[in-house]
Amino acid sequence: MDAYADPRTDAELLAAVADGDRDAMSVLYGRHAPWLVLRLSRRCADPSIVDETVQDTFLAVWRSAGKYTGQGEVAAWMWGIGVRRLIDTLRRQPVATVVLTEPTRTEISAEEQVLLGVEYGDLAGALHTLSPELHAVVQATVLDGLTTREASRLLGIPPGTVKTRMMRARAALREELV
C-alpha cells in the first residue's frame, strides 16, 4: 500500500495538491479511490457511470483543493463532491439506462446484530423495519447528506415524494425507538 507509506496526512496532501503537486494527488487517489469506487457502486449499478464519476470527482478535487477549509474529514469532503458528481452524471444519462442498486439482502446475522448494536444502538433494528423505499430515502438524505432535491435526482423520484417518504420513515423510526 504505497499510498499509506507517505507520512503526510490527507489535509497536508490536499494543501500540496492546491499548490499543483501531482504526486500528492496520486497519493490521495491511492488512499481514497478504493472506498469511493465501492461506495459509489452501491449507489449506481452501472460501472461506466461510476468510473466517470470517480474521474470527475478527482478532477474536482484537483481544481478545488484550495477550497477545502481544513474542517472535517477530507474523506467526507470528497464524498460530498463524489455523490454530487454522481447526480450530475446520472442527470446526463437517458433515464432508461440508469439502474439503481436495490438493497441486496434484508437478513442480518447475529454477529452483525452485535456490531450494529454497538455502533447504532436500537437505531439499527429500527432501520431494518423500514421498507426499501423508505430506507433509500433515509440513506440519501441522512447518511449521504443530500438535500431533498439532490436525493430526488439520485433516486429518480419527485422531490415531494422524497419529503413524504422521509416523514413516513421518521414516524416509523419514532414508533420503533420509543
Partner 1 sequence: MTTAPGSWHLDSALVRRYVDAATDAVTAASVEAHLLRCAECRRSIAAGTVDSASVARRSAIWTDVVDRLDAPRVGLLERVLRRIGVRDGDARLLAATPSLQLSWLASLLLALGFAVAAARGRDTAGALFLLVAPLLPVAGVAAAYGADVDPAYELSMAAPYRATRLLLLRSVSVLVASLGLAGAAALALPASGWSQAAWLLPALGLSVTTLALSTRLSPALAAAGVSLTWVSVVVRLLQLDRTADIAGASTQLSFLVLIVAATAVLAVRRDQFDTRSAA
Interaction residues for partner 1, span 53-82 (CB under 8 A) = 54-55, 58-59, 62, 73, 75-76, 79
Stretch that binds partner 1, among 46-54, 84-92, 160-168, 169-177 (CB under 8 A): 46-54
One residue of 135, 148, 159, 172 binding partner 1 per CB under 8 A: 135
Please enumerate, as own/partner, the contacts of 88-94 that have beta carbons within 8 Å and a separation of 24 or more: 88/56, 89/49, 89/52, 89/53, 89/56, 90/44, 90/49, 90/153, 90/154, 91/153, 93/49
- Please identify, using beta-carbon distances, which residue of 112 and 175 lies nearer to partner 1: 112
- Please identify, using beta-carbon distances, which residue of 126 and 162 lies nearer to partner 1: 126
Q: Does 48 contact partner 1 by CB under 8 A? A: no
Q: Does 121 contact partner 1 by CB under 8 A? A: yes
Place of cell 490527507: 10
Instruction: Please say whether the dihedral angle defined by the alpha carbons of residues 123, 125, 131 and 136, taken in this order, is positive or negative.
Output: positive
